[in-house]
Structure 1
Amino acid sequence: MKKSLLYIFALLAAAGISIGIPACSKMGHAPSIEESTMFEKAPNFQNGTFFNENPVNMTVEGFTFAKAINFFFDLSRTPDKKLPYYPLTKDSFSTTPAELQVAWLGHSSMILDIDGVRLLIDPVFNNASPVPLTVNRFQPSPIKRKELPEVDAVIISHDHYDHLEMSTIKYLSPKVKRFIVPLGVGSHLRKWGCKSEQIVELNWNESITIRDVEIIAAPAQHFSGRGLGDRFKTLWASFVFKGKQHRAYYSGDGGYDGRFKEIGQKYGPFDLTMIESGAYDKGWKDVHMMPEESVQAHMELGGKFMLPVHWGAYDLAFHQWDEPIRRVSNLAAEQGIKLLTPQMGELCMPGQSTHAAWWEPAKQQELAVAN
């Protein structure tokens, strides 16, 4: 009886998603035909869609209906209790951005200071899905939107829901001068009230400079889409932050390919790499890296310090919530990599930070009491 009810619930949820999503404003708006014609000269755009440099298998291997049901109802992958974190407010940040500092807000949301420029990266504060209860956020952000410090720009790597949130964009629109996004993503932002003059859309290897920091959209092996028929309509990217004194790299989302060595040779070495290290599975390894590949990417980039991201806030894969950081931590120790593992909200300065395994149960309890 219980099994039957779960199947019925799943079918109703699927029906609700298929009916409700097209009318949902959270979807944003894919580029119009007129806008798409502007991309026709781009070498990575053809017949109305963007494509990867290498062929990508978009078929999820080994995924069954039964496995999908288990994914929605099995909570054993999430923490047993609230994780320790550092609460942040505007006063947590200096008026002048630091030379190199990062605050990890969970998953892929970050506040990065580099050479006097402050950037807000992939800010998402709520559910990483247009449909409530379909994605479990087990750890709230350490900062509220109203407590965000003033930033020079917002960086969006691609239009998936765990990287681009409508409510946050609407909140930030009257407060932020620039939104720097891959080609086509600006269409979503305009739908949500951003002005065209606020939006900078970049193709791979295009850039914009803010004061002395050049921000470069670099290739990534991934995909895009927020609805049932807009896959590949907007571009996805990684980002290089190139200052006069420091250099940082953010991978965005993507599978492992030959681009990291090329990016490292062209723009590196990097003082800091922020590398996707979670929500992986062998069934979709072409578009999300496995832990061994994340560590390899950091080394090929010529990174000095590695900050693993894309984990620790959402239940997006079949692995345990802390498996990504445990695997990456073990691999980094074997390779002699300087790993940054701050708690969410902890202000982290490469070179002054230490690697602490706060995710271990005993350590969690100790830190929770201290915080």
Structure 2
Amino acid sequence: MQATLHETILRQPLADCLKRPPAAGLMVHWLGQAGFVIDIGGLRLVIDPYLSDSLAEKYRGTARPHKRMMPPPIGADEIVHVDLVLCTHTHTDHMDPGTLPPLLSKNPGARLVVPRAEAVQAKVRSGLHDDRLVLARAGERLLPLPGLEIVATRAAHERLETDADDNHRFLGYTIRSGRICLWHSGDCIPFDGLEAEIAALRPDIALLPVNGRRPELSQDGVPGNFTLDEAIAVARRVGAADMIAHHYGLFDFNTEDPARIDAAAAATVGLNVHRARTDVVYASHL
């Protein structure tokens, strides 16, 4: 029996929700862009958190100033009881030097999972030493905590890239505890072999970006992701029962229309499509 997600509107600030330790089962909170807090099997994981204005500071006065369309739903130092933080790649909205140090300082027992190809950047941006880093290679099965299995998967953003040692620079992760398995694709577009690779890992839930690709952005060095239609097709083909559509609503030059996501969710049969929202918790008790 596959895990399925139920949506519940939050009646309190996210920081108040996360003051409680993680419980059994699954609870997923969206942090904006590709960031999530995932409570699974009594553990708390945070993936790709971007909770600062690092990019607005970097691009102030440019043609794309990276001003936030939505505020962070929580401060980095307000997320507690964290066991593991994961980053899929080094783009700042996924491996943020404004978020990782306060988050990891507040949670001194937490380790950071990053692509092996990006170990140097991970140390620079997080301030961590080797003993708190977990280096992941595509195809590798990690057992970082009791009852938790993570498999690093290849991602193409917009192409597959490796370092001199054939370590992939862009990753996704499947996260499994008990009978529940999530797949966070990282920033990714369709590529040959992707669906077979992920289907073999039997994800129940797919967390997929839907902001798509635009030639004018690619020409300026801003790579894209799945379109909404591609994400739905990929989620179906890998066998997921639920998909959470994310990576929208943060930067006005690189987003997707929420109304279009909602319309696709209403029209899709055989797959439960959820639009990521910061005022909703997605839960399963399987």
Cα deviation for residue 343 of structure 1 reads 2.7
Given candidates 79, 84, 93, the residue that maps to 1:148 is: 79
1:1-371 correspondence to structure 2 within 5 Å: 87-127=13-53, 129=55, 130-132=58-60, 134-174=65-105, 175-176=107-108, 177-192=110-125, 193-209=127-143, 210-222=145-157, 235-268=169-202, 270-278=203-211, 280-281=213-214, 284=218, 287-317=224-254, 322-323=256-257, 325-336=258-269, 337-350=271-284
Residue 100 and residue 299 in structure 1: after superposition, are their counterparts in 2 closer, same or farther (change >3 A)? Answer: same
Structure 2 runs not aligned, ≥5 long: 1-9, 160-165
| Kept in 2: contact 1:126–1:137 (CA 8 A) | no
TM-score normalised by structure 2 residue count = 0.80
Q: Distance in 2 between matches of 1:223 and 1:170?
A: 28
Q: Distance in 2 between matches of 1:119 and 1:316?
A: 29
**Letter matched to residue 60 of structure 2:** P
**Letter matched to residue 237 of structure 1:** L
Q: Distance in 2 between matches of 1:160 and 1:244?
A: 31
RMSD: 2.8
Over alpha carbons, which structure has the higher Rg? Answer: 1
| Kept in 1: contact 2:79–2:103 (CA 8 A) | no
Flag the structure with higher strand content: 2
Task: Find the residue that maps to 2:241 and give its secondary structure.
Answer: strand
| Kept in 2: contact 1:207–1:216 (CA 8 A) | yes
Cα deviation for residue 341 of structure 1 reads 2.9
Q: Distance in 2 between matches of 1:223 and 1:197?
A: 32
Percent of aligned positions that are identical: 21
Flag the structure with higher helix content: 1
Deviation readout 1:261-294 (Å, 9 max, x if unpaired): 21333101x2211111125325649842111101
Cα deviation for residue 310 of structure 1 reads 0.6
Residue 287 and residue 167 in structure 1: after superposition, are their counterparts in 2 closer, same or farther (change >3 A)? Answer: closer
TM-score normalised by structure 1 residue count = 0.63
Cα deviation for residue 144 of structure 1 reads 1.3
Structure 1 runs not aligned, ≥5 long: 1-83, 225-231, 353-371
Cα deviation for residue 233 of structure 1 reads 9.4
Deviation readout 1:305-325 (Å, 9 max, x if unpaired): 1111111222242xxx552x3
